[in-house]
Structure 1
Amino acid sequence: MTRTGAAGSPALPWESRLRDAMETFSVKEAHDLLRGLFKPRMAVYWADFLLSWTLAAAAFWAVGPLGGFTVPGVAAFLVSAFASFRCFAFIHEIAHFRGKKAFGPFRIGWNALFGIPLMIPIFLYECHGEHHNRKWYGTPQDAEYLPLARMAPSNIVGLLITPLFLPFYGPYRFGVLTPLSWFVPRLRTHLYSNVSALKIDFDYRGRQPTAEERWNWRLQEALCALWIAAAATLLAVGVVPLGRLVQWYAMFAFVALVNSLRLLAAHRYIGDEDEMSIVEQMMDTVNHPRARPLAELWAPVGLRLHALHHLMPGLPYHSYPAAHARLVAGLPEGSAYRLTESSGLFASLGRLWKESRSHQRAGTLLDRARPEGTTA
């Protein structure tokens, strides 16, 4: 997806209400309400991740003996997919606590057990800090953002089609391009600029690794390449049946689709590519506090309270329920924080689609009203 047609869009109808609430919101007041909740508890991280990983692996294996097209087999497939999605979501926490020594072993363990085997090593998410930067959030320097509410609905559809192709990304990036880059040094610059970030903005260009990061990134690339070679060998000699590859593709595509739905519901996407303060970021983001058990499936590891995360990005995920309860109880009823709430996934998706359609119609009317021979 690209940002074509995003700038200079008509104002959305509820933006003035958001601005009014923003002017009276105090980040300090909100922070004071959350004292004592900012310390990550590594035992919770390890227990949650390892349990999810074990469940994902066991359910993935169980699909074989149960049969992929039986009711128990389909149930096992869904368990493996949602458990894998929960494992994947921990990359978000790792990105935010990368500087903490306590996260060092967890970072290595997550990469070894999940990141490398799924060909989504941690370095692909080093760009996430830009998504919280006041100068870069919502701009072309933000890999995870497109002003979708100001763009044509076809861009939303595109994000829902992309998951069909994402399972091919890892084998192509690490099984083809990575080995080639060992013999064609110039290719490495292209790799890091264009295909080394988890992004929804295809125009985004990533940075090159620093001197300290270079060998760490290359090690992760090499391990992914070795994993692909080992998997290909096992498939070729028949140790792993071809059906497992098909199952892996289906699981990866399913997880990618659920994540795309989550991404579409996570923000209002009303940015106009200007800088945004922390409060503006929060108000462009969505909380889904209702139906927690169901929301934990499609927005796990704290991602369902995404506005809270953008308000307090240093808050560990296991503190989110308590933090949300404190803010709801301690802030005024008309607080900007309360305006970030949505009743559910489909309500958020419907709102985004409606606003994108409204923008498209408004843009069409402006084009028709513009005198012939003039441009925007």
Structure 2
Amino acid sequence: MTAQNVIETPFSPLAGPATAAPGPRAGIPDDRELLRAAVELTRDLTTARAAIYWPDMLVSAALGYGGVAGAILFTHPPAAILCAVVGVLGLYRAMLFIHELTHIHRDALPGFRFGWNLLVGIPLLTPSFMYEGVHTLHHARTRYGTVEDPEYLPLALMKPWTLPLFVVTALLLPVALLIRSAVLVPLGTVVPPLRRLVWARISALSINPAFRRRPPEGEFARMVFWQELGASIWAITLIASVFAFGLRPLLIALVIASGAALLNQIRTLVAHLWENEGETMTVTAQYLDSVNVPPPALLAPLWAPVGLRYHALHHLLPSMPYHSLAEAHRRLSAHIGGRDTYAKASYPGLFPLVARLARSTMGGR
């Protein structure tokens, strides 16, 4: 669920793109050499290592919650602001493990899904069901960049004002999640039409307003029930805490959560080039519409943590654990060289990517 669902898109009858021309990558054929090399050179890197996942997630969560506590308890502004920054970065990194949960085999890291939901997903009101079964559609060969892709908007072809709106609306996400879990989900248990609406429209971490989620079934439906129950109890507890501790602690926590959501939205803004207007794309075309920000970009681990600085490579190897992506990138770069398809998805940093996207919305590439 994202607040940017108010943005009109070429996927909606309400508005058209800034230009009617299709994206420039839809007709790119697959680079068979690249696809073969990506698989063959990385066969030994596919095991998710619990000794990396667990400490990384736990330390990130501890820093995040410690930052929130410090921002609430410290009255000296510089100390409180420093704690808030630590809180934003820690919670942001911990939250992004939801991306890993959608790709790793459910038996690869025993207990990790439960532990992450208990410590991060439910406290942040974004349990893993909000991404599981959704993000994999983004990687589907025939869905990427189309109206059926929940995580794609042709932002490069849209109006210039959509970019700041896309970013700023992320600030509303924590409040929206609080209302969803504390009010809408409980009401939905007694009002079936509302329950169906909440599930279809505001139960997925998606950015495509045309996306409608199908009802959960089987074991997944049972998981959704327990995760929704936990999130609703926690959301109601947060609201009730105002009567015991006043409004200030909750407001500070929401501001920090909004900061993490804003940072994630900025990362999302540059995760792709967003140049496809609904056509089916080859795997290579999807790769070239995605972004790597490899070293020496120094700040990338902060705004694109948990391996997301290698987002284009991730689209070639979706099941590759985040801790293996740097080595996979090194091997592919050394084997293929810097003048072919693989190198074309690498960019120097955040600001050049934002500038490129802004130019695209104004008619230039």
Aligned match of 1:35 in 33, 43, 46?
Answer: 43
| Pick aligned residue for 2:67 from 59, 66, 84 | 59
Looking at structure 1, the residues matched to 353 and 265 of structure 2 have their Cα atoms a distance apart, in angstroms, of 13
Contact 1:2 1:146 in 2 (8 A): no
Counterpart residue number, 1:114: 120
> What amino acid maps onto 1:34 in structure 2?
T
Distance in 1 (alpha carbons) for counterparts of 2:179 and 2:255? 17
Q: Report the CA distance shift for 1:25/1:268 in structure 2 as closer, same or farther (over 3 A).
A: farther
- From 103, 114, 132, give the equivalent of 2:109: 103
Q: Partners of 1:70 and 1:78 in 2: how far apart?
A: 12
Tell me, yes or no, if the aligned pair for 2:28 and 2:282 is still in contact at 8 Å: no
Structure 1: segments with no counterpart, 5+ residues: 363-376
Identify which of 81, 84, 94 aligns with 1:87: 94
Residues 83-92 or 141-150, more deviating: 141-150
Q: 107, 117, 130: which one pairs with 1:124?
A: 130
Q: Which residue of 1 aligns with 2:260?
A: 255
CA contact (8 A) 2:182 2:236 kept: yes
Q: Contact 1:81–1:254 at 8 Å: present in 2 too? A: yes
Q: TM-score, normalised by structure 1?
A: 0.89
The one-character-per-residue Cα deviations of 1:268-313 (angstroms, maximum 9, x if unpaired) are: 1111211122211111001001345521111000001101100111
Q: What's the counterpart of residue 346 of structure 1?
A: 351
1:182 to 176, 181, 189: 189
Amino acid at match of 1:169: A
Cα distance 1:119–1:334, how it changes in 2: closer, same or farther (>3 A)? same
Query: Pairwise mapping of residues 131-210 of structure 1 onto structure 2 (< 5 A)?
Result: 131-210=138-217
How many matched pairs? Answer: 353
How many angstroms does 1:9 deviate by? 2.5
**2:269 aligned with 1:264, yes or no?**
yes
Residue 316 of structure 1, CA deviation: 0.3
| Equivalence for 2:13 | none
Write the distance in 1 (CA, Å) between the matches of 2:161 and 2:72: 38
Secondary structure of the residue aligned to 1:146 is coil
- Contact 2:18 2:158 survives alignment (8 Å): no
SS at match of 1:96: coil
Equivalent pair of 1:25/1:335 in contact (CA under 8 Å): no
| RMSD (Å) for aligned C-alpha atoms | 2.1
Structure having the higher Rg: 1
Q: Is the 8 A contact 1:93 1:316 kept in 2?
A: yes
For the Cα contact (< 8 Å) 2:238–2:250, is it kept in 1? no
Aligned residues with identical type, % of pairs? 35
Does the alignment pair 1:319 with 2:324?
yes
Q: Secondary structure at the match of 2:208?
A: coil
Per the TM alignment, residue 75 of structure 1 is displaced from its structure 2 partner at its CA by 1.2
Shift of 1:172: 1.5
Q: Deviations over 1:173-200 (max 9, x none)?
A: 1111111111112222211111110011
SS at match of 1:307: helix
Matched with 1:10 is 21
Is the contact between residue 38 and residue 314 of structure 1 (CA under 8 Å) also seen in structure 2?
yes
**CA positional deviation for 1:234:** 2.4
- Please name the residue that 2:229 is paired with: 222
**Residue 7 of structure 1 contacts residue 272 of structure 1 at CA under 8 Å; is this kept in 2?**
no
How far apart, in 2, do the equivalents of 1:56 and 1:291 lie? 26
In the TM superposition, what whole-angstrom CA distance separates every residue of 1:340-370 from its partner, at most 9, and x where no partner exists?
Answer: 01110001011011011116xx9xxxxxxxx
Matching of residue 288 in structure 1 with residue 289 in structure 2 = no
- Matched residue type, 2:322: Y
- Is contact 1:55–1:83 with CA below 8 Å preserved after alignment? yes
Verify the 8 A CA contact 2:34 2:342 in the aligned structure 1.
Answer: no
CA distance in 2, matches of 1:42, 1:344: 30
Secondary structure of the residue aligned to 2:315 is helix
Letter in 1 for 2:260: V
Q: CA deviation at 1:25?
A: 4.4
SS at match of 1:48: helix
SS of the residue aligned with 1:26?
A: helix
Question: 2 CA distance for matches of 1:291 and 1:84?
Answer: 25
